[in-house]
A and B are shown apart, each in its own frame.
Chain A
Amino acid sequence: MTPEASEAFAGEIKEALRLVIDPELGYNIVDLGLVYEVNVEDGGVVHVAMTTTTRGCPATGYLKDGARDAAWSVPSVEFVDIALTYDPPWTPDMMTPDAKRHLGIM
């Protein structure tokens, strides 16, 4: 897969991940900055590194499974690996300007 094709495929995955919202903040996990990395490999293998707004969040399992299902919904995806990480810990500064505006964050 060329770097351009890989980037476009990762973009499709990110778009699909926008279906997953953080229930508390009510905004999609991509624009909240909860998705740290999306890597694609040959053969439709997708690796997603993501976090949650707080450790121990009861929604963690659902967010992880939701991200897996959303990524899997993209055509040509054959395998999805979701890794949960708290390094670095999430901060509101990681949100996109649109997400900040939506939440009324300075």
Chain B
Amino acid sequence: MVGVALSRWTMSYFATAVLALIAAEGLMLAGIGYPHTAIAAPESLLLVHLVAIGWLSLLMCGALFQFVPVLVNRPLDSNTLPLPTLILLVAGLAALLLGFAQLGGTIQTPFGFFPAAAILLGAGFVLVLWNLGRTLWAERPLPLPARFVVVGLCSLAATVFLGIIFALVLGGVATKPHLLDVTALGLPIHVIAGLGGWLTFTAFGVSYRLLAMFMLAPELEGRTTRGALYVGTAALTVAIVGGMAAICTSTNVIWPIGAAGGLGLLALALYGGDIQHLYRARKRRVIELNSRMAGIALANLAVTVALGIGLLFAGRFNDHVGVVVFLVAFAWLTGFGLAKLYKIVAFLTWLECYGPVLGKTATPRVQDLVTEPRAQKWFALYFVAVWIAAISLLLTTPSLFRLGVGAMLLATIGIGVQLMRTRRLANVAPALRLPKGTRPPHLLHSSVQPS
């Protein structure tokens, strides 16, 4: 159907991502990885990549395949590539996790999992960049939120590039001294490019547009938004390019990262001011659950930044870097991701099921596909649980951490069940559920039904 940009495989990305999150929380509950082992131990790295690639990156890719066309008002360059892309990413992630298990001695086999992971993940992310990059390139000049996404995608490229070097060195394939240096010293750059550039900066771009859309707030394109874009881009450039240059010239990498941190704080302040304005200037006074929960995730980001600054001034940042990373991953990115997932699943399901009969018969609203009071309890439990786990990390009380992570797991399963109910149209009143000409949507992929 002309004019409809329904991403066919986005639901598969979302389902795989939620399963990865549940698996990661299950591993933490079982006492595998940080804080039960050192943050740089293979078990911890396995956990970190299950969250960063399996949950957050797959969620972001699935969302961008649907959302970039909305941002630039143009169909996705290829609606068939996302499936092979997903297969490559999942296979690559599996190889990477097996590589870390091999490194930690959990499995004993001579097979080179790390090189396989480098090839598969590299190919998968190249397809992501190709598909989204071509879609964006064709619509220049881009609106401001799309430019945040472009910077996020450039950061993804940097993250993957470094990740491939690390994997080839860990797999024993690359042995050149400067590649060993990059592996030994480049971890902070890899983390900043991944969590800061790819995931956070892209989420900023998405939030500018989605929050304005869902709360009927004015779209921001003024000086502060441009400032957040330019200063944030500068921060990432200094961290990634400057950091790599420092490694290559045997300069201490702390200098570019410190300078990037200062710029990053300014960008965060500008973004924070913009978001506060969006919430205050919204026309919709009573906002939906997804916008309320996104607000909590954004507040969590602010608190995490304040905590990081406090730890730096107290000279304890290195001792508690794991807590900061935990909060960025779960209090901010996962909180925001789950909040938006709750809305996007309902919206895409509505489009797929009821769009073709619009104008022919009465149809439910998107909001009729969800039951907010039920989901709100799980979101509340999730956020409380994350803070219990974070505080337990600060206080070094492992039993309390397990309690927090157990509650996070329970809440995630609860939200997952709500997403399934939405997809199954279980919340829609029976009289409106399947009007003539509609059929229930498939759980894992979307198809445009004949109108």
Contacts and interface: CB of A to CB of B under 8 A. Distances in A.
Interface string A42-79: 00000000000111111111111111111001000000
A59 B213 contact: no
A104 B285 contact: yes
Interface of B: 1-6, 66, 69-74, 213-214, 216, 283-286, 347-348, 350-351, 354-356, 358-363, 365-368, 451
Contacts of B347: 23-24, 58
B449 to A, nearest CB: 11
Query: Range of interface residues on chain A?
Result: 20 to 34
A70 B351 CA distance: 18
B285 A105 contact: yes
Contacts of A59: 4, 351, 355
A105 B66 CA distance: 28
A23 B284 contact: no
A40 B286 CA distance: 38
Interface string A71-106: 001000000000000000000100000000001111
A61 B1 contact: yes
A62 B358 contact: yes
A66 B359 contact: yes
8 contacts: A23-B366, A25-B365, A54-B70, A55-B73, A59-B355, A66-B355, A66-B358, A103-B216
Contacts of A23: 347, 350-351, 354-355, 358, 363, 365-366
Contacts of A69: 358-360
B66 A65 contact: no
A1 interface: no
B71 A61 contact: no
B72 A68 contact: no
A30 B451 CA distance: 22
A62 B351 contact: yes
A88 to B, nearest CB: 15
Closest 6 CB pairs of A and B: A66-B359, A61-B3, A26-B365, A66-B358, A62-B355, A56-B73
A56 B135 CA distance: 13
A21 interface: yes
Given A23-B363, A53-B213, A69-B359, A58 B4 contact: yes
A94 to B, nearest CB: 11
Nearest to A24: B366
B20 to A, nearest CB: 26
Contacts of A73: 359-360
A24 to B, nearest CB: 6
B143 to A, nearest CB: 9
Contacts of B283: 92, 105-106
A89 B388 CA distance: 46
A65 B366 contact: no
A68 B286 contact: no
A20 B358 contact: yes
A66 B363 CA distance: 11
